[in-house]
Structure 1
Amino acid sequence: MNDTIRQTACALLLASLGALLGCEQKPATPPESVQGAALVPISEKAASDLSLAIWQAGQAQVMHTRATAATLRRAVAALLEHPNEDRLEKARLAWLDAHRELAAMLPYIQLAFSPVALRSQGRELLLTLDSWPAQAGYLDTVPGYSDSGIVNDTAIELTLANLRKQHRLTAHEEASIGFHALEVMLWGPTSERMAEQFVADSRGEKPEALAANRRRALTRLIAQGIEEDMDGLARSWPSAANQLSRRYLALGPVARLQQIRAAHTQVIDELLLPRLPEGSESDVESSRAADSKQALLAAMATLQSNWIPTGGGGLAELLLDRHQVSALEQTFADLEALLLEMEDPFELAELGQLAKARKLLEKVAGLMAGTTQIPVSEMDVVPVVLPVE
């Protein structure tokens, strides 16, 4: 089912992008919604086809991420039913799969919640699903503090509603729901979690108050919350739902492209650049699961598929000049090659690599925004022949 959804997403986008290459050109001047962006004449037909294809690709990605969230919840349930190392490993692999799909969804999330009236709702969704870093001691026992965390705080009744109230209660690292809270539970505070720590304990008059049983309940509720949040997003996305899509579809085709352009530069500035620490000892998104690099690669793959898809016809072709298109394609390739060389998580990477990766990301954003101009080479200059008197 997951492969089918992914194939559908790719087919929708590539089919529409391919159709752009042969469409009739009717130039229209786009609004300058990105500060300093160059104005390039754009075909209304091409803009309409591409902007709709990208929205539909976003819907397919949301559906795929929802499916992986459901798989994750089932893997956690299987682990809690019969805790063993094999099931713990399967739950971790399901987490990695779902977390990377969430990262691939980020550019579409930024686009969907671009309107001013929706921005706070979008930020709340991302903080619910993807708040990081997550402080291990806020959730579970950590070395030196045997009674730390919600696992040991019996004053907190373990319900999903209560966990949502506890989320980021007094500090941003106090994550009690979302992917990184679940990361702490599956890998453990020191990345040495064992399956036996999820075995139910029936001792005492109130076994539900025992740390082992509260750890089980907490892990189950966090996985359930991720699935519920993804279900809610999936219900709001389709055109028929008339919640997220109506504001987007109400825009003219060229205005939609400019909204995509602005959203994609923002996702780099606000969501992706912070994932690259400026120092090797900085907090990283997924230090326990060692997935910060792969998650960033997944997000960049979505951007690249929208801007420079295989076969042509993407955003770059409509919004940039040919020199910028070539530079953007090369920068995507350089960034991918660099990221593949780096350690995962990023806290283990070399400082020089981190700095270079940040510069390449900034260059991608500048090129997509149209604010980075590429000098014309001598080979591109057509000599002028003056007539002889």
Structure 2
Amino acid sequence: MRLKLLIASLAAATFSLPVLAQKPVTQMDVLQHYGQLVHASYADAASTARALQDAINAFIAAPSEAGLLEARKRWLAAREWYGQTEAFRFYGGPIDGEDGPEGRINAWPMDEAYVDAVADNAAAGIVNDPGVKRDADTLAALNEKDGEENISTGWHAIEFMLWGQDLSADGPGKRAWTDFVDGKAPNADRRRAYLKIVTDLLVSDLEGLTAAWAPGAKNYRAAFVADPASLTKVISALGILSRAELAGERIEVALDSQSQEDEHSCFSDNTHRDIVANALGIRNVWRGEFARADGSLLKGPSLHALVAAKDKTLADKVDAGMSASLKAAEAIPAPFDQAMLAGNPGRTKIEATVISLKGQTETLVQAAQALGIKRLNTALPE
């Protein structure tokens, strides 16, 4: 009987203990987790780019149609992961600060004749010019030389080499694998060398960005996450990507011109997926979460939680807007270069995405104000 009474007393005492309040998320918590998020995102972009590199190395060692198709598949897969990292730009960080590699990695639009033969000029480009050295330093120096469309490196140079010009309305470019075979196409050896060099350079640049955000090192990340002022940069980057870059440069410009030259990944017809990946990257940062390439989920202190502590209704409104933008982007049909044309039913879906992105930018500005950030820049840096 005494034992039963003791157990009952202990049970009552246990249930009467006060519930400990959950520790509120702080700005420094959010910045520390942001460092983890950025590092993981670049690490996955680099690892999937290495898978692309392996496929390209195998292809150029023994060109075949199957090898070219596998390289294209790996480019498309790796592009999904890089696209999400675009949310880490626009504040002078390792990617686009002074001497940053962004221009080497993702510059566009691209004048394909600057690199290789095109439909009306079989002798065009670096590949067909024996006076151009075949090394990384030379090709990097030629990138954007004498014109911003003179792109010689990065995702879109590789894309052009794998697909060639997109000359059809119903699909991407149709470059023949024999373009890389000696005796089948002029300068095939130079074309193989060029493809390898620019792919190796892309991997190297992505690995450098991963290192800049690595934990436990005296690098950019260490200083960034320790500075409370960095929170403004994090939120501003989302606003700039949402409004000025994605809605503006990457979508509205193409809608206005209706020119294939103004779509982001025009050779592979992957522009619709670029837009989705960018929109997802914005929401990743807002939510403090990232679904990794290995299937794991990285999740931690978020901007959403930080804003919710001040104004939950507003925080949920921002979150809903980002989900709406992502859903709108996923509804854009491929190929983008046809959907954007006047009279095409797909154009309204693209326009709806622009409207949603603009709306989420407005709520982001309000969220920043709730955190005491009086003026949030959403325009592209000069």
Instruction: Tell me if TM exceeds 0.5.
Output: yes
**In the alignment, does 2:220 pair up with 1:244?**
yes
Q: 3-state SS of the aligned residue for 2:98?
A: helix
Q: Quote the Cα distance in structure 1 between the aligned partners of 2:288 and 2:220.
A: 25
Q: Quote the Cα distance in structure 2 between the aligned partners of 1:81 and 1:22.
A: 61
Aligned counterpart for 1:275 among listed residues 238, 243, 250: 250
Aligned counterpart for 1:315 among listed residues 281, 303, 310: 303
Q: 3-state SS of the aligned residue for 2:77?
A: helix
Q: How many residues align?
A: 323
Q: Quote the Cα distance in structure 2 between the aligned partners of 1:234 and 1:327.
A: 32
Q: CA deviation at 1:250?
A: 3.0
In the TM superposition, what are the counterparts of 1:69-218 in structure 2 within 5 Å?
A: 69-110=49-90, 113=93, 119-122=97-100, 125-190=101-166, 191-201=173-183, 210-218=186-194
Please give the TM-score of this superposition, normalised by the length of structure 1: 0.75
Q: Which amino acid aligns with 1:275?
A: R
Does structure 2 conserve the Cα–Cα contact (< 8 Å) formed by 1:113 and 1:121?
A: no
Q: Quote the Cα distance in structure 1 between the aligned partners of 2:163 and 2:66.
A: 14
Which digits, 9 at most, give the CA deviation of each residue in 1:139-160, with x for residues without a partner? 1111121111112111112111
Which digits, 9 at most, give the CA deviation of each residue in 1:32-91, with x for residues without a partner? xxxxxxxxxxxxx53222221121011011111111111111111111111111111110
Q: Which runs of 5+ in 1 are unaligned?
A: 1-20, 26-44, 204-209, 374-389
Q: Which amino acid aligns with 1:306?
A: V
Please give the TM-score of this superposition, normalised by the length of structure 2: 0.77
**In the alignment, does 2:350 pair up with 1:362?**
no
Alpha-carbon distance change, 356 to 158 in structure 1, aligned in 2, over 3 angstroms: same
Does structure 2 conserve the Cα–Cα contact (< 8 Å) formed by 1:114 and 1:263?
A: no
Q: Quote the Cα distance in structure 2 between the aligned partners of 1:22 and 1:184.
A: 56
Does structure 2 conserve the Cα–Cα contact (< 8 Å) formed by 1:287 and 1:345?
A: no
In the TM superposition, what are the counterparts of 1:305-384 in structure 2 within 5 Å?
A: 305-308=284-287, 314-319=302-307, 321-349=311-339, 350-370=346-366
Q: Quote the Cα distance in structure 2 between the aligned partners of 1:22 and 1:298.
A: 37
Which digits, 9 at most, give the CA deviation of each residue in 1:131-176, with x for residues without a partner? 1112111111111211111121111121111111211111111111
Does structure 1 conserve the Cα–Cα contact (< 8 Å) formed by 2:180 and 2:192?
A: yes
Q: CA deviation at 1:261?
A: 1.1
Q: Which amino acid aligns with 1:316?
A: H
Q: Quote the Cα distance in structure 1 between the aligned partners of 2:236 and 2:94.
A: 9
Q: 3-state SS of the aligned residue for 1:119?
A: coil
Alpha-carbon distance change, 319 to 259 in structure 1, aligned in 2, over 3 angstroms: farther
Q: CA deviation at 1:23?
A: 3.5
Q: 3-state SS of the aligned residue for 2:26?
A: helix
Q: Greater CA deviation, 56-65 or 344-353?
A: 344-353
Q: Which amino acid aligns with 1:342?
A: I
Which digits, 9 at most, give the CA deviation of each residue in 1:309-368, with x for residues without a partner? 689963123225233223223322322222222123432224333332112111112212
Partner of 1:23: 22
Aligned counterpart for 1:285 among listed residues 241, 248, 264: 264
Q: 3-state SS of the aligned residue for 1:278?
A: helix
Alpha-carbon distance change, 147 to 239 in structure 1, aligned in 2, over 3 angstroms: same
Does structure 1 conserve the Cα–Cα contact (< 8 Å) formed by 2:283 and 2:323?
A: no
**In the alignment, does 2:282 pair up with 1:303?**
yes
Alpha-carbon distance change, 309 to 57 in structure 1, aligned in 2, over 3 angstroms: closer
Q: Which amino acid aligns with 1:177?
A: T
